[in-house]
Amino acid sequence: MSSPAEPLLSVKDLHTSFPVRSSLLRRKIGAVHAVSGVSFDLPKGRTLGLVGESGSGKTTLARTVIGLAPPESGQVLFDGQDLLTLSGDELRQVRRQIQMIFQDPYASLNPRLTVEQIISEAWLVNPGVLPRDKWASEARELLVRVGLNPDHADRYPHQFSGGQRQRVGIARALALRPRLVICDEAVSALDVSVQAQVLNLLVDLQQEMGLSYLFIAHDLSVVRHISDEVAVMYLGKVVERGTTEEIFAAPEHPYTQALLSAVPVTRPWAAPPREQIILTGDIPSPVSPPSGCRFRTRCWKAQERCATEEPALTDRLSAHVSACHFPELPAASAGAR
């Protein structure tokens, strides 16, 4: 059993790509570089927020971690075991401890099954985890835990609101008592008021069950509410990583600064004025990413060096790291550089 100081999930130099084939002979003519050399650690009982625009590789990274997308290279260590080297029963035993909450609460639930049957599927495909005579009572207990009426276990998904359906999805994810839950845009399809309720539920469940979350989102205000650390992805790479306080108080990478400038301010009259950064152009194609720094085609700081030399994630005075040749450092860091 791992000690609290050890990471529960450790991703090391992970690369995942998908072939691009010609329409006529189906020959490989290129590759979509969805994840390119991503590394991070996620300690037990903590939350890592993964943010970035659509197309940055967040979901592919999550699918690779859970085993739904085969990687080209790298390591995915769960409690010290490399998931990419496991197979058969050994892999199934470990994967029970990793569950996923999906983005769309409408599409992720089978409309032909009752809520009880949806939750019980976890025990059906993992025989021996829970005796069949306890499925009904356990399903109802899970509904109570996620804030739903246990008497509604016989209802179908269409009889619930969007927020209630997502709670059913959370109950399904908890059925196997996981240690790691991957939340893939888990609240983005919900109303703002419902988002807050589901986020508070996730925080409570984490405290009660000691869960670790890999929380994927494009809404930085949501990430700030739930995450202990934040990793910012752009075009398959992590360009900045640090504690939530560090990222929001002193972002170093231009891309992170642009994302934060777009976050709405709830009390603009009480907040200091800030410049809104508007990025020009679309995110480049992952089939042929730019040379050097991948963000340089949209960066107002780009210089000749950015086109020829790829910046590495540089550790400065703390765990806060960024991949930029010209980062905006805090005063203390700039003086010590």
Whether 102 is in a domain gets the answer no
Whether 124 is in a domain gets the answer no
Whether 194 is in a domain gets the answer yes
What pLDDT shows up at residue 137? 97
Whether 322 is in a domain gets the answer yes
What pLDDT shows up at residue 268? 55
What pLDDT shows up at residue 28? 86
Measured from the Cβ of residue 43, the count of other Cβ atoms closer than 10 Å reads 18
From residue 212, how far is each of 25, 49, 78, 295 by CA, in Å?
45, 11, 12, 30
What pLDDT shows up at residue 192? 87
Whether 41 is in a domain gets the answer yes
Measured from the Cβ of residue 82, the count of other Cβ atoms closer than 10 Å reads 13
What pLDDT shows up at residue 318? 58
Both structure tokens of 77: 């260590």
Number of domains in the chain: 1
What pLDDT shows up at residue 220? 87
The domain in which residue 52 lies consists of 7-97+178-336
What pLDDT shows up at residue 57? 93
Residues 6 or more apart whose CB falls under 8 angstroms from that of 182 comprise 62, 65, 66, 98, 99, 100, 101, 213, 214, 216
pLDDT averaged over 10-residue windows placed end to end, the chain, 337 residues: 68 94 85 94 96 92 92 94 89 92 92 97 93 97 97 96 96 96 92 92 96 93 92 96 93 93 66 72 89 94 94 71 85 42
Closest CA to 315 of 243, 217, 241: 241
Kindly report the CATH number assigned to the domain that includes residue 235: 3.40.50.300
Angstrom distance (rounded) from CA 161 to CA 16 = 36
Whether 36 is in a domain gets the answer yes
What pLDDT shows up at residue 32? 93
Whether 263 is in a domain gets the answer yes
Whether 199 is in a domain gets the answer yes
